[in-house]
Amino acid sequence: MKVLILGIDGYIGFPLALRLLDRGYEVAGADNFYTRNRVRKVGSKSAIKINSFSTRNKKLNNAIQFYRGDVSNSKFVYDIIRDSKPDAIVHLAEQRSAPYSMISLKTAIETLDKNIESTMNIIYAVKDLNKDIHIVKLGSMGEYGTPNIDIPEGFLNVSYNGRSDNLPFPRMGQSWYHLSKIFDTYSLMLAERIWNMNVSDVMQGVVYGTRTPEISKYKLFTRFDIDQVYGTVLNRFISQAVIGYPLTVYGKGNQKRAFLSLEDSVECLNLIIDHPPEREYRVYNQFDEYYPLNYLAETVKNQYKSLYNRDIGIDHVQNPRVEMEDHYYNPVNENLRKIGYKRQRSLDDEVPVMIRDVRRNMNTVYSLKNVIKPATNWR
């Protein structure tokens, strides 16, 4: 099977490429190094040293058929699909930071334009060139927000005034980034309805981790962002612990979010690639567990203490985001279990590995200490 990974230079895209190559898939990929550039623009860089894409590919004997270009450019998307002839396309190539989308009108529009255009280009190119191609699109659990009821997978049975229907679950994204993902979701739903396409829409939780077995095998690390714009919460806590700074929990820290390890993210995507829907729009809630931010902070603190016998503080700082801090949260993830998903790596397995990897890059982390603190304010 041949898989085209859009966003192949990214945190998830590159380990996914390694996994698929290792398992004998043909892999093509595209990237315009947007994340490398934007992370530089906010004064940061990957805290774990990474190679350029051409060095990565050279170390893999140029096994990846690589196209450099922007997937928000329709001609580029049509050209690479025509040329690479994939069976599946995994679309990861979007502006993926909620805080970045909240910096200004310019970054909000950039996020909406880039993300919505890239998904539309893929939909139209697949419709026009080969409707058998399976589109695997990365959305976010954040599309649902934090409703006061259980979160099903994409759809909800609703009864109202004596009639009932299975309707899209209401989306309540809390940033322009999440709204771009919601628009993608509705575009994909519509495309399948009118053109009978094969779509897997993946509502992914927050991914954490520095390794997969292939990263260790090929000694090719993936990016690891720790700044307040591009770094996700566990990455930032671990970096703060490593340089002896208190962990900065936003607000009360009772906000619950869904999480999964990098290893599980890559494994789930591989399972989804192997189970294409037949002319169907299918939603996967892709996460392993959910917990409050305080639990993450306590886990990092306790693991650090048991590894290095050092006490790490926890500070509750003013929440830069506008979000509920005490709320109900209960999403389900049945669809992945139905196709064989079993957890590979838990939070407790992964945190010590991450701590050790980040400690090896302590000087870089120290040099980035000022960009970890929250500065982008939703208000």
Where does this chain bind ligand NAD (CB under 6 A)?
7, 9-13, 30-35, 70-72, 92-94, 96, 114, 118, 138, 140, 204, 206-207, 223, 232
Q: Which of 175, 208, 169 is nearest to 95 (CA)?
A: 175
Number of other residues whose CB lies within 10 A of the CB of residue 262: 24
Largest CA distance in the chain: 64
Output 83 or 311, the one with its CB closest to ligand NAD: 83
Residue 118 or 240 with smaller CB distance to ligand NAD: 118
Name the residue type at position 114. Answer: K
| Strand extents, DSSP E, 205-298 | 206-208, 247-250, 256-261, 281-286, 289-292
Shortest separation between residue 114's beta carbon and ligand NAD, angstroms: 5
Nearer to ligand NAD, 196 or 286 (CB): 286
Which residues, at least 6 apart from 75, have a Cβ–Cβ distance to it below 8 Å? none
Return the DSSP state at 143: G
Minimal distance, residue 123 CB to ligand NAD, in Å: 15
**Token representation of residue 175:** 């940033």
Tokens 């009108």: give the residue.
Answer: 105
Nearer to ligand NAD by C-beta: 140 or 248?
Answer: 140
Of the two residues 72 and 228, which places its CB atom closer to ligand NAD in the complex? 72
- The nearest distance, CB 95 to ligand NAD, in angstroms, is 6
H helix or E strand, kind and range, residue 159: strand 155-160
Closest contact distance (angstroms) between CB of 351 and ligand NAD is 16
CB-wise, 32 or 285, nearer to ligand NAD?
32
CB of 198 to ligand NAD, least distance (A): 19
Min. distance of Cβ 91 from ligand NAD in angstroms? 7
Q: How far is the CB of 131 from ligand NAD (least distance, A)?
A: 23
3-state secondary structure 165-208: EEEECCCCCCCHHHHHHHHHHHHHHHHHHHHCCEEEEEEECEEE
Q: Which residue has the tokens 């985001």?
A: 321
DSSP characters over 81-124: HHHH--SEEEE--S---HHHHTS-HHHHHHHHHHHHHHHHHHHH
Looking at beta carbons, which residue is closest to ligand NAD? 10
- The two structure tokens encoding residue 101: 């989308």
Residue 225 near residue 47 (C-beta atoms within 8 A): yes
Strand partners, 4: 28, 89
As a whole number of angstroms, the distance between CA 77 and CA 90 comes to 13
Please tell me whether residue 239 adopts helix, strand or coil conformation: helix
Q: Nearer Cβ to ligand NAD, position 11 or 245?
A: 11
Alpha carbon of 25 to those of 14, 64, 223, 358: distances in Å?
A: 14, 10, 23, 31
Whole-number minimum distance, CB 33 to ligand NAD, in Å?
5
CB nearer ligand NAD, residue 34 or residue 169: 34
Minimum separation from the CB atom of position 205 to ligand NAD (A): 7
The alpha-carbon radius of gyration of the chain (Å, integer) is: 20
Q: Which is nearer to ligand NAD, 171 or 223 (CB)?
A: 223
**Nearest-approach distance from CB 238 to ligand NAD, in angstroms:** 14
Q: Which is nearer to ligand NAD, 6 or 247 (CB)?
A: 6
